[in-house]
């Protein structure tokens, strides 16, 4: 496996959180760098939730200094999702089993196998770095009683497919796939990523619930717009949702 040109990588035997380490290292890095933690002691997911990370699972963060506005930087969640789909396809040889749950989860046989967490650093409204955190249940899935009500059931690559891959090998696959989709985004814009995401989108054309924290929208998942927002067809008409928790 060939590591992508222009990307560095660091493998740590133990770290509190790869996203936290990314924030600490960002000012010292000369270019995009993957940080892989073989063991996380304080992993976290979206909205500060605990991310279970037993040995054998994958926890890594890519530190980037992307150009453009924060909204453009946020499109890296789609880059990461598509890269995960490609990497998992190589590991499992089951592309039909992999789908993408807007905005930042990857499903295997309809169960959650991976999550993405984007965080930025900066001051005065200026972004200095972007951390693209990725967690994958390679060998273990979290217990059901640790999940919030309505959450998608978890799974692992090993339990669902029998495929056994170590984190460092998976990093090579993911790093190469991410570089591919990042190049497409920079060269051609979001349009090709949007189409690729829709081709693998979970529950497209089906009823879903989107909760923003202040509002709840129930409707048919119709589209992802040119800026990455979710488009629902509801009883009140077409609704565009920029950020939300999605429930099936």
The reply to whether 141 and 189 lie within a common domain is yes
Residue 71 lies in a domain: yes
Predicted local confidence at residue 232, as pLDDT? 98
Strand, helix or coil at 106? Answer: strand
Predicted local confidence at residue 150, as pLDDT? 74
The answer to whether 3 and 175 have CB atoms below 8 angstroms apart is yes
Residue 243 lies in a domain: yes
Query: Which residue's entry shows tokens 């249940």?
Result: 137
The reply to whether 83 and 190 lie within a common domain is yes
Predicted local confidence at residue 54, as pLDDT? 82
Tokens of 130: 């972007």
Predicted local confidence at residue 45, as pLDDT? 56
The answer to whether 113 and 152 have CB atoms below 8 angstroms apart is no
Predicted local confidence at residue 143, as pLDDT? 80
Tokens of 67: 């150009």
The reply to whether 109 and 150 lie within a common domain is yes
Closest to 132 in 3D by CA, of 89, 84, 188, 173: 84
The reply to whether 114 and 234 lie within a common domain is no
The reply to whether 107 and 157 lie within a common domain is yes
Residue 1 lies in a domain: no
The answer to whether 77 and 106 have CB atoms below 8 angstroms apart is no
The reply to whether 136 and 77 lie within a common domain is yes
The reply to whether 188 and 211 lie within a common domain is no
Tokens of 24: 């600490």
Residue 3 lies in a domain: no
Predicted local confidence at residue 44, as pLDDT? 63
The answer to whether 25 and 33 have CB atoms below 8 angstroms apart is yes
Enter the pTM of the model.
0.93
Tens digit of each residue's pLDDT, the chain (248 residues): 789 999 999 999 999 999 999 999 999 999 999 999 999 888 765 555 555 678 899 999 999 998 877 788 999 999 999 999 999 999 999 999 999 999 999 999 999 999 999 998 876 566 789 999 999 999 999 887 667 777 899 999 999 999 999 999 999 999 999 999 999 999 999 999 999 999 999 999 999 999 998 899 999 999 999 999 999 999 999 999 999 999 99
Predicted local confidence at residue 1, as pLDDT? 73
Question: Which CATH number fits the domain that encloses residue 21?
Answer: 3.30.930.10
Overall number of domains in the chain:
2
Query: Which of these three, 184, 200, 216, is where a domain ends?
Result: 200
Structural domain range at position 34: 8-200
Predicted local confidence at residue 197, as pLDDT? 98
């Amino acid at each position: 496996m060939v590591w992508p040109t222009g990307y560095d990588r660091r493998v740590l035997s133990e770290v509190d959180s790869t996203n936290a380490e990314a924030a600490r290292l960002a000012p010292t890095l000369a270019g995009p760098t993957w940080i892989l933690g073989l063991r996380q002691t304080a992993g976290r997911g979206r909205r500060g939730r605990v991310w279970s990370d037993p040995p054998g699972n994958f926890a890594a963060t890519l530190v980037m200094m992307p150009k453009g506005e924060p909204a453009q930087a946020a499109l890296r969640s789609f880059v990461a999702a598509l890269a995960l789909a490609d990497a998992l396809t190589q590991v499992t040889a089951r592309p039909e089993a992999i789908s993408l749950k807007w905005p930042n989860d990857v499903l295997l046989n309809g169960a959650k196998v991976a999550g993405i967490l984007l965080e930025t650093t900066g001051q005065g409204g200026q972004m200095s770095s972007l951390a693209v955190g990725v967690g994958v249940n390679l060998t273990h899935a979290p217990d059901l009683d640790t999940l919030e009500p309505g959450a998608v059931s978890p799974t692992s690559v090993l339990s669902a497919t029998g495929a056994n891959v170590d984190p460092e090998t998976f990093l090579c696959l993911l790093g190469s796939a991410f570089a591919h989709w990042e190049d497409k985004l920079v060269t051609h814009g979001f349009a090709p990523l949007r189409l690729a995401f829709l081709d693998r989108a979970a529950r497209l054309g089906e009823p879903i619930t989107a909760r923003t924290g202040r509002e709840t929208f129930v409707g048919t998942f119709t589209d992802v717009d040119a800026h990455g927002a979710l488009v629902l067809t509801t009883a009140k008409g077409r609704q565009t949702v920029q950020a939300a928790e999605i429930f099936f």
